[in-house]
Amino acid sequence: MRFTPPTRALTVLGLCAVLLAGCSLPSIPSDPDGTLERVRSERVLRAGASPNAPLVLAEAGGPPTGPEVELVEGFAQSVGARVEWVVGGESELVGRMEDGEIDVLAGGLLKDSPWEKRVTLTRPYGKAEADDGTTRAHVLATPMGENALLTELERYLDEHGSEHGSEHGGAQNGAAAGGEHAGVSS
């Protein structure tokens, strides 16, 4: 029996499909540094908190509190982890994120944050009216390129973020307002 061109093409396509099915393709989105996988396996999310009232509050010797802290803790719980907090100023925490020491950063960051060249910002989780009458869109930050972590965090924020973002409009972005947030390292 002789193969006709359409049959040959279908045979080749079928063989390609079988070969591809046997290949282990990486999952998409992925984390080049394996952040989400590490968080799930070690059951620890390393989070930075930059005080920015009322969204992130920190007092010497105590854990941070506030609506963004609650969001990060809820996210950690959703991936089976607990949070280890590091409290500090934005620039210190962004540097630590770049060094792979922090997985998520909460600090009243805004969608037009100047840090967007050094970290990845989530989609806005909530919008609020600031004291000056402008609308502010709040975000969290993750390490550059860690797309599986970002996707999972954004999925969580899509479901839970607006609960925390709409009534807390008075926060200022430290860099945009002309200064760092004071913080206490823990």
| Nearest residue to 69 via CA among 45, 91, 92 | 45
- Cβ density class 22-52: b for 16+ within 10 Å, e for less: eeeeeeeebbeeebbebbeeeeebbbbbbbb
Average pLDDT rounded to a whole number, residues 104-132: 94
Average pLDDT rounded to a whole number, residues 6-21: 52
How many Å apart are CA 31 and CA 46, to the nearest integer? Answer: 16
Question: Residue 169: which pLDDT band, with cuts at 50, 70 and 90?
Answer: very low
Q: What is the model's pLDDT at position 127? A: 87
Share of the chain above pLDDT 90, in %: 63
* Per-residue model confidence as pLDDT tens digits over 82-99: 999 999 999 999 999 999
The reply to whether the predicted model has a pTM over 0.85 is no
Q: How confident is the prediction for the chain on average, in pLDDT?
A: 82
Q: What is the model's pLDDT at position 170? A: 42
In the chain, the amino acid numbered 8 is R
